[in-house]
Structure 1
Amino acid sequence: MEHVYQELLKPSPALLQDIARIDGDIMLMGVGGKMGPAMARLAKQAVEEAGIQKKITGVSRFSEPGLQEELNALGINTIKADLLNDAELQALPETQNLIYLAGQKFGTTGRESYTWAMNTYLPGRVAEKFRHARIVAFSTGNVYPLSPVLNGGLAEDIPAAPVGEYGQSCLGRERMFQYFSSIYNTPVFIYRLNYANDVSYGVLLEIAKAVYEQREIDLRMGHVNVIWQGDANEIAIRALLHCEAPAKTVNVSGPETVAVRWLAQEFGKRMDRTPRFVNSEQPDALLSNSAECFRLFGYPRVTLKQMIDLVAAWITEGGKTINKPTHFQEREGKF
């Protein structure tokens, strides 16, 4: 299974083609989070396989032991910085291309001011500092309200109406990048993700672990969107070619509106377990329509059933996971 997993992490022909068209070096800000390390590795591998010269730089506090050294060993340049320290932010070198991954979600309740500082104040400072760069700014489907499952998810032309302070602060992040894009003509791509999955974390892993451990699965948030992390990372890098001024906003998710009950049953088949459920599916859920994403980048390479097979095998074989829950079940926006 490790071999299959590693194969799915390799850059696609589309990424190799696009990275050669991206003018200049690439900086990943907030590289120490869930997606950042894999994205930096993917970008570096794509540069090498494309046979081009392009520096990949990762910026983070690097609180996870060994990560900075691991990235350096791969030839990825790293800078240790506390982005809320303005002197350290201003000392960062200029870059032609910035992928902005920094943000705060879990632990918002009780630390609301810190979440707003990270998710709204800091993006304004970054947008001003890097006003001459192309910027892909990560956001979230949490800026949308819950919508009827039968509608198939909300598209980008539906007005944002986030529930809870986390979603509100993320909309604030979008507004800061939009504002500075408008006054400085900075090309920006706002990347509304919903939800990335790897064998080590994500909605699929959480459902699979609950099935495997015979824990009850709450069905109130009965439907989700999921996408393979490798595909989501490729889209983020390739999105540097689609930055616009005024800022362009695109939903990034898988093509299916997936029933949580069905997912649990699929994992049950593969694990020889009978899923246990609590509560009932509600008529609405947090869902995005990603048709525009597929128009720009094509459909994800890794299918839903491939993801299910991978995650099920990973758990039954005792693969390593990280304890970073998505809280996808949350219906009131409290993180």
Structure 2
Amino acid sequence: MSATPAQDSAPLLRVEGLKKHFPGRNGGVVRAVEDVTFSVRRGTITGLVGESGSGKTTAGRCLLRLVEPTGGKAVFDGVDLFGLSPHEMKAYRRRLQIIFQDPYSSLNPRMRVSGILGEALDAHGLARGKQRPARIAELLTMVGLSPEHARRFPHEFSGGQRQRIGIARALAVEPDFIVADEPVSALDVSVQAQILNLMQDLQQSLGLTILFVAHDLTVVEYLCDDVVVMYLGRIMESGPSRSVYARPRHPYTKALLSTAPVPDPDFKRERLILNGDIPSPLDPPSGCVFRTRCPYAGDACAEIVPPLDPIGPSHASACIRQTELVAAGIL
């Protein structure tokens, strides 16, 4: 986990009521993200986690305006990004960057590494003339590659090396905030650890603020200061990683954690098996969207959309049966 910042550090990004709807079949609406609210503290790594189809990647791309949101706010350093015109947004592109999931398709195969990194510099008028090759060499060294790699094409690198190039491209413009969209999910396990360690070192040395999108809670526990758990477009639980992992207060978080591997053969974790698949966002369940797979759902869960209620300092859960389940020793 990255160096623990002060718990009262101000958020660099505050997301309020984020919504993203897509047109569906026969005039329906796909509610990919619905009323999502959370904060990312300055100089920290926040994990945005959930199963495939939970809306986490869509939410991350909305924040950068790569996908236009349907509603809500994204207040970045005091400015609502969603209220900016395309021209005004361009001024913020340097401060907001993304690391893509697939290191194979995210790099232009026709460009040398020098061109890939130089393109980012050119877009913002940085490191011109003689400064350009020096800056490219610096970036490659920063991510554990050789300056000589600048002359090569993407196909000459392994997946882990390509992702290092993707990280260097994001860092080229000296951003304040990075969305890392499942940056290790396409890599071998041994390579994943190297990339995670690299990201942790860079975050600490450069003071970056990162939203780390993932489905693997083990990775998030290792890397992130805070965690936001999403399911079918809504937040189920959020809070400091240590608090959420030590005692999850939502059945969905508990289910995800129960399947996560633990590097201790003597540790026995109670398994909470979820039945069925995640429902379609085209026709989400009424009330609590998790109720159709929740082993503790009651009649009221079909009627009430649970608010994200505070549990303690910075920890919140969206479950109307939370108090009852805690009292019964289930959560």
TM normalised by structure 2 equals 0.30
Higher helix share: 1
Higher-Rg structure is 2
TM-score, normalised on structure 1?
A: 0.30
